Amino acid sequence: MSQATENLILTLPDGSAREVAVGTTPLEVAADIGPRLAKDAVGAEVEGKLVDLRQPLAEGGAFRLFTAKDAEAGIFIRHSAEHVMADAVKRLWPEVEIDVGRIDHSEKFQYDFRFPRAFTPEDLEQIEAKMGEILAEDSTFERIEVSREEAARIFAEMGETLKVERLKDIPEGESITIYRDGSFTDLCRGPHVQRSSQIGAVKLLEASGVYWKGDETNEMLQRIYGTAFAKKEELASYLEQVEQAKARDHRRLGVDLDLFSFNEHAPATPLFHPKGAEIYNTLVDYIRELQNRRGFEEVITPQILDVDLWHLSGHYDNYREAMFFSEVDEREFAVKPMNCPTHCLIYKTRLRSYRDLPVRYSDFGRLHRYERSGVTSGLTRVRSFAQDDAHVFCTEEQIEAEVLAMISTIMEIYDTFGFESIEIELSTRPAKSLGTAEMWAKAEEALKAALGNADIDYTIHPGEGAFYGPKVDFQVNDALGRQWQLGTVQLDYSMPERFELEYIGADGAEHQPVMIHRAMLGSLERFIGILIEHTGGAFPLWLAPVQAVVLPVSEKFLEYGETVREQLRDAGVRVQLDGRNEKLGYRIREAQLQKVPYMLVVGAREQEAGQVAVRLRTGEDRGAQTVAEFLPGLRELVESRSREL
């Protein structure tokens, strides 16, 4: 009981150390440094954790104070703006009940309300205006620690029944704080700014209905999203950034680059135009080449199979609501949502020896899954797609080597596309699953052993596995910093059992093989969508649907342009000739917008010397060279699947 005498050491960014008593607040530290800092501070950080200026410090360590100039201030500002918004809503509609705000304030804030109708865009304007009034009041954010009972009483008195419910979710023993600013009181762990005037610019973004606690069976609340910054200019630049991101949107680029389209007659299923199909097929060629070198054999399997098969595989029971069905000759068929059952059928066509294993089947077959209407989006979530799918049938002893080989291939592929910082996740048995506990334990252990022995870092996602087995998923970050799940390696003891798959072991007895499901790019559609946004449509040369365009300076050089095109075409280059009656600048601009890697200008000088003037889409001018000089470099880049030009 000597808390009053205990001291903490705080290390400031300049390296200096300060000794303060336990229970000192960051604000007091700021005041000690200088009155100006105390006034301007919006928040603090201890050992990398953001803390409220009024929160008594319990531990020392690396210590920082933030003012509006620091990027971190945004977290405090948006979290505080969130309360101001809730205050505004309550002032406008006193009967509204509040639920909770957002956890991640790195970009946005949000608040959920129990409100009898949806908020309209006009409501948002009104709320934003009211927020302006509240900000003008420049009220102070007050932090109060209360007991659980006190908190329950306060919110019950305020009629905030959702809040009282939420209070029950706070683990016993955790301290409970409430924040007050203006006329608003909320259960909140903070941290917040000191005064509302530190919130310089606010914008409400959109409203939407959300399920309470994210559960579809719960009532729907109304959520409002917004963002806030210390300065108006920061808000403007954020909105500008959002606007610019739209230019990279694969749905936008898909139209601009003439890659694919969608049609009302086939919702959520893309129609690939020639250029999109070129990319698609080039990707398939790449994967095919890579995996065939590693012992995979490609198979082609039916699109539509008797529903009996899907009963046998377990898909019907687990996945029926996401399948397409068709009745013909009074017989029920299902369109395949996965390839694995058909691969089991091939496996079973003859007696397998342990000497045959592993059997590795790959399949680029088209799959159909009925995705609920509200969830589809561009190429990233479609109802018809193909995967770079494969299934390996092997013995238990072979699992580790197979999984490791898959992982190394997957990493090689991601490297080709320039995806970095790949995160690996191990997902374990979900609630809805096939097979016994022992099967699952064995499968999960096998994957852990493979990952562990290869010294691969991974995180465990409990209950996120496939219904037939645990899996290792690969998350990549694209150029825009977004995370996507691409590859997956899934262990399956269940399907072999259901299909009664066997092999004859060295002991002459029958054994059951293990099945490994594998995808690397995942859905090709989705991968193309991600790649479009990752590259902004400027595909690496080997994938570019048009690799070079020949541009005669005028009609007079059209004929020479044609001979150049023929030379390149014969060499296997995807080349076009733009001999339209337009100025060179016009056609350059167009090729540039189409992100064609090479523009080959031919005029009098080039014709004379049998050359082409090489311009890159980067704007670089390579000068004049003969086709014979130009080709080898291009070929080398294509063959090595380089990202360079």
Partner RNA sequence: GCCGGCAUAGCUCAGAGGUAGAGCAGCGGUCUUGUAAACCGCAGGUCGUCGGUUCGAUUCCGACUGCCGGCUCCA
Residues 6 or more apart from 458 whose CB is under 8 A from it? 423, 424, 425, 426, 451, 472
**Smallest distance from the beta carbon of 528 to RNA, in angstroms?**
15
Please list, residue by residue across 297-324, b when 16 or more beta carbons sit within 10 angstroms of its beta carbon and e when fewer do: eebebeeebebebbebbbbbebbeeebe
* The pairing of beta strand 176-181 with beta strand 142-146: antiparallel
Among 126, 301, 376, 395, binds RNA (CB under 7 A): 376
**Smallest distance from the beta carbon of 301 to RNA, in angstroms?**
15
Minimum CB distance to RNA smaller for 337 or for 365: 337
Residue 115, CA distances (Å) to 111, 126, 163, 165, 408 in order? 12, 16, 14, 17, 52
Among 606, 637, 638, 645, binds RNA (CB under 7 A): 606
Instruction: Catalytic residue, from 83, 391, 511, 526: name it.
Output: 391
Among 19, 159, 211, 626, binds RNA (CB under 7 A): 211
Pair 517, 574: CB distance under 8 Å = no
| Host H or E run for residue 477 | strand 471-477
* The pairing of beta strand 366-368 with beta strand 384-394: antiparallel
**Smallest distance from the beta carbon of 356 to RNA, in angstroms?**
27
Minimum CB distance to RNA smaller for 266 or for 351: 266
Tell me the C-alpha distance between 384 and 200, whole Å.
Answer: 47
250 as an active site residue: the answer is no
**Smallest distance from the beta carbon of 522 to RNA, in angstroms?**
9
534 as an active site residue: the answer is no
Instruction: Catalytic residue, from 143, 222, 340, 567: name it.
Output: 340
Pair 137, 199: CB distance under 8 Å = no
Minimum CB distance to RNA smaller for 20 or for 613: 613
Residues 379-438 interacting with RNA (rule: CB under 7 A): 381
Transcribe 530-545 into DSSP letters.
HHHHHHTT---TTT-S
Instruction: Catalytic residue, from 275, 315, 352, 471: name it.
Output: 471
Among 48, 171, 173, 374, binds RNA (CB under 7 A): 374
- Residue 385, beta-bridge partner list: 367
Instruction: Catalytic residue, from 517, 518, 574, 595: name it.
Output: 517
Minimum CB distance to RNA smaller for 20 or for 382: 382
Minimum CB distance to RNA smaller for 27 or for 591: 591
340 as an active site residue: the answer is yes
Tell me the C-alpha distance between 422 and 474, whole Å.
Answer: 7
Among 188, 287, 338, 450, binds RNA (CB under 7 A): 338
Pair 74, 105: CB distance under 8 Å = yes
Instruction: Catalytic residue, from 87, 112, 389, 473: name it.
Output: 389
Minimum CB distance to RNA smaller for 38 or for 98: 98
* The pairing of beta strand 598-602 with beta strand 471-477: unpaired
HSE-up (13 A, CA, CB side) for residue 339: 28
Site map 565..594 versus RNA, x via CB under 7 A:
---------------xxxxxxx-xx--xx-
Tell me the C-alpha distance between 199 and 349, whole Å.
Answer: 70
Q: Is 343 in the site for RNA (CB under 7 A)?
A: no
Number of helices (H) and strands (E), helices first, in the chain?
20, 33
Among 177, 490, 567, 576, binds RNA (CB under 7 A): 490
Residues 514-553 interacting with RNA (rule: CB under 7 A): 553
Tell me the C-alpha distance between 187 and 178, whole Å.
Answer: 4
Among 604, 626, 628, 629, binds RNA (CB under 7 A): 604
Tell me the C-alpha distance between 334 and 308, whole Å.
Answer: 9
Instruction: Catalytic residue, from 143, 352, 368, 369: name it.
Output: 369
391 as an active site residue: the answer is yes
Residues 179-208 interacting with RNA (rule: CB under 7 A): 206-208
Q: Is 239 in the site for RNA (CB under 7 A)?
A: no
Among 67, 126, 140, 377, binds RNA (CB under 7 A): 377
- Mapping DSSP to helix (H, G, I), strand (E, B) and coil, where does residue 110 land? strand
Number of residues that this document lists for the chain: 645
Site map 288..327 versus RNA, x via CB under 7 A:
---------------------------x--xx--xx----
Q: Is 164 in the site for RNA (CB under 7 A)?
A: no
Among 554, 626, 640, 642, binds RNA (CB under 7 A): 554
Pair 20, 29: CB distance under 8 Å = yes
**Smallest distance from the beta carbon of 139 to RNA, in angstroms?**
29
Minimum CB distance to RNA smaller for 176 or for 426: 426
Handedness of CA 623, 624, 625, 627 (dihedral sign): positive
Tokens encoding 102: 């957002």
Minimum CB distance to RNA smaller for 242 or for 401: 242
394 as an active site residue: the answer is no
Tell me the C-alpha distance between 483 and 471, whole Å.
Answer: 18
- Mapping DSSP to helix (H, G, I), strand (E, B) and coil, where does residue 14 land? coil
Residues 96-155 interacting with RNA (rule: CB under 7 A): 117-118, 120-121
Q: Is 34 in the site for RNA (CB under 7 A)?
A: no
Among 222, 227, 387, 547, binds RNA (CB under 7 A): 222
Among 133, 240, 306, 621, binds RNA (CB under 7 A): 621
Transcribe 201-253 into DSSP letters.
EEEEEEEEEEEGGG-TTSPEEEEEEEEEESSHHHHHHHHHHHHHHHHH-HHHH
The number of residues that bind RNA (CB under 7 A) is 73
Pair 260, 384: CB distance under 8 Å = no
**Smallest distance from the beta carbon of 202 to RNA, in angstroms?**
18
The torsion region of residue 48 among left (phi > 0), alpha (psi -120 to 50) and beta comes to left
387 as an active site residue: the answer is yes
Tokens encoding 534: 């990752």
Q: Is 267 in the site for RNA (CB under 7 A)?
A: yes
Among 196-204, 260-268, 285-293, 503-511, the segment contacting RNA (CB under 7 A): 260-268
471 as an active site residue: the answer is yes
Site map 450..479 versus RNA, x via CB under 7 A:
---------------xxxx--x--------
**Smallest distance from the beta carbon of 223 to RNA, in angstroms?**
6
Q: Is 551 exposed, middle or buried (0-12, 13-18, 19+ CB in 10 A)?
A: buried
- The residues assigned a catalytic role are 340, 369, 387, 389, 391, 471, 517
